[in-house]
């Protein structure tokens, strides 16, 4: 099954292939503008009702701070924002940062967010571990910025796990590779927990399987992938190099 393609990825790929063709340039620019204006390319991971069920909370539940790492256009973030006094987000794509800013979220630098002088109650890391350069460093940084006992980390991972990082106009390999054992959904979930989350200092509170929906583009109406969604808490143990 094809991966969901965000606007900037598609833009980068086509520009790369057709760099000398001005018609393509204008076509793609118009497409990206259309995505911005029509608000296309959005994702769906969970509803607010599903979030409340996962967290074991009800409508009035509210805590201080959420950090959504790699928040995309912020549609998923906005599903749960009512539960937080302050909503922070990071994003490496300039067009997505533009959208996040227009939604009123507090943008943190993708390389500096771990330096804040406070802790987050909830950190969401949805469909990011396979798309970022240093997923293991990211998990370690999350552990240090999450409230130690009450904090929770929500991680969504598309399985089967395939890492692929967007760097400017290119797709590159990550600096930190994660190798999961097994090929079935269940085996990969087991390996994620034993080989990645636990050595990073987290224990699993619960996990579930959800469809990851992405609004389509010029080529397909929508994309559906298979997400494993975890609620993790700090195990109290320190990061072990994996």
Q: Which residues bind ligand SAM (CB under 6 A)?
A: 6, 43, 45, 69-72, 76, 90-93, 96, 110, 126-128, 131-132, 156
* Residue closer to ligand SAM (CB basis): 19 or 98: 98
Q: How many residues does the chain have?
A: 242
* Residue closer to ligand SAM (CB basis): 151 or 174: 174
Q: In the complex, what is the shortest distance from the CB of residue 9 to ligand SAM, in angstroms, rounded to a whole number?
A: 8
- Let me know: does 74 contact 41? Beta carbons within 8 Å: no
Q: In the complex, what is the shortest distance from the CB of residue 141 to ligand SAM, in angstroms, rounded to a whole number?
A: 10
Q: In the complex, what is the shortest distance from the CB of residue 83 to ligand SAM, in angstroms, rounded to a whole number?
A: 17
Residue 130 to residue 198: CA distance in whole angstroms? 17
94-102 helix and 7-17 helix, angle to the nearest 10 degrees: 150
* Residue closer to ligand SAM (CB basis): 3 or 235: 3
Residue 105: phi and psi, rounded to 5, are -80, 155
* Residue closer to ligand SAM (CB basis): 72 or 201: 72
* H-helix or E-strand spanning residue 203: strand 202-215
Residue 241 to residue 147: CA distance in whole angstroms? 22
Q: In the complex, what is the shortest distance from the CB of residue 167 to ligand SAM, in angstroms, rounded to a whole number?
A: 9
């Amino acid at each position: 099954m094809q991966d969901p393609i965000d606007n900037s990825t598609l833009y980068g790929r086509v520009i790369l292939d057709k760099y000398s063709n001005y018609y393509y340039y204008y076509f793609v620019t118009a497409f990206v503008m259309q995505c911005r204006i029509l608000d296309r390319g959005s994702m769906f991971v969970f509803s607010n009702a599903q979030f409340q069920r996962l967290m074991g909370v009800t409508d009035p539940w509210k805590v201080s701070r959420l950090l959504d790492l790699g928040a995309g256009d912020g549609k998923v973030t906005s599903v749960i924002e009512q539960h937080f006094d302050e909503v922070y987000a990071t994003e490496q794509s300039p067009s997505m940062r533009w959208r996040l800013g227009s939604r009123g979220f507090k943008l943190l630098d993708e390389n500096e967010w771990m330096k804040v002088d406070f802790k987050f109650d909830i950190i969401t890391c949805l469909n990011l571990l396979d798309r970022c350069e240093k997923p293991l460093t990211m998990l370690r940084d999350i552990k240090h910025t999450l409230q130690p006992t009450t904090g929770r980390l929500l991680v969504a991972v598309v399985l089967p796990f395939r890492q692929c990082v967007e760097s400017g106009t290119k797709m590159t390999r990550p600096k930190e590779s994660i190798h999961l054992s097994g090929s079935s959904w269940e085996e990969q979930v087991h390996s994620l927990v034993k080989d990645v989350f636990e050595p990073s200092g987290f224990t699993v509170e619960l996990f579930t399987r959800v469809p990851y929906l992405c609004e389509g583009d010029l080529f397909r109406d929508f994309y559906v992938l298979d997400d494993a969604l975890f609620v993790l808490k700090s195990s109290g143990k320190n990061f072990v190099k994996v």
